[in-house]
Amino acid sequence: MSSIIDAVNAANSAGSSSTKTSASAEMSDRFMTLFLAQLQNQDPLNPMENAEMTSQLAQMNMVSGLETLNESMQTLLGSYDEALSLQAANLVGKNVLVPGDDLTLSESGSLFGVNLEGPADKVEVIIMDSTGQEVARQSLGQQDAGSWAFYWDGTKSDGEKASTGSYTFSVSASLDGEPVEAKALQAGTVSALVRGTNGFLLEVAGLGNVTLDDVKQVF
């Protein structure tokens, strides 16, 4: 006697109702209808054994359970997406640090950041102009692991004031003479929230679109 699950699959392949209810409820209804028909039409001389009935009921419960789990996951993902959009919207107008080595100097100075994979007793930043020439060098001293924001007032290594405009910078760090992985973080202001194909993106003025995962610090 063929499995009731095969019968359900065959019924699914034959067609579907134009008015759809829950897929799980529809499958359960089909199962019960076919299961009862199978019991009513079984061979009296060769009735279905209890073990076979239990097996088919267990299969149906598994299919129904997976369907219910899938529906719950879809609901959960929808709630998560909504919460994520609210969180992202709250960042509009805020300053953030994201991966990058660009630095814009204004009359009031410039913010930048450093991300350290581990603690360091020596962290140094080299600021360069558009030609790649060193303009200034800053020692940031001892720092713990994590992301940190720093400020450059525009003073060059020779004591003169640097011209406002665009610069780049590099970061190096070490602990007891051993290198520590360090990444440059550039600062920008979130101007808008953008829905991308893979989720929400933040539009950062002058930097383009970044993901929420790219944001290392908000201030």
pLDDT digits (tens, 9 = 90+) for 137-158: 999 999 999 999 999 999 999 9
204 is written with which tokens? 């950062």
pLDDT attached to residue 19: 44
Which segment of 98-107, 147-156, 192-201 scores lowest on mean pLDDT? 192-201
Question: Is the confidence at residue 2, as pLDDT, over 50?
Answer: no
Residue 136's beta-bridge partner residues? 127
pLDDT attached to residue 8: 43
C-alpha torsion angle, residues 52, 53, 57, 58 (rounded to 10): -30
**Three-class DSSP category at 7:** helix
DSSP letter at 24? H
Question: pLDDT tens-digit profile of 19-76?
Answer: 444 555 665 666 667 666 666 666 555 555 545 555 655 665 665 566 666 666 665 5
- Enter the pTM of the model: 0.61
Question: pLDDT tens-digit profile of 78-97?
Answer: 544 555 555 667 788 888 99
State how far the Cα of 96 lies from the Cα of 212, in Å rounded to an integer.
Answer: 10
- Give 33-66 as a DSSP string: HHHHHHHHTS-TTSPPPHHHHHHHHHHHHHHHHH
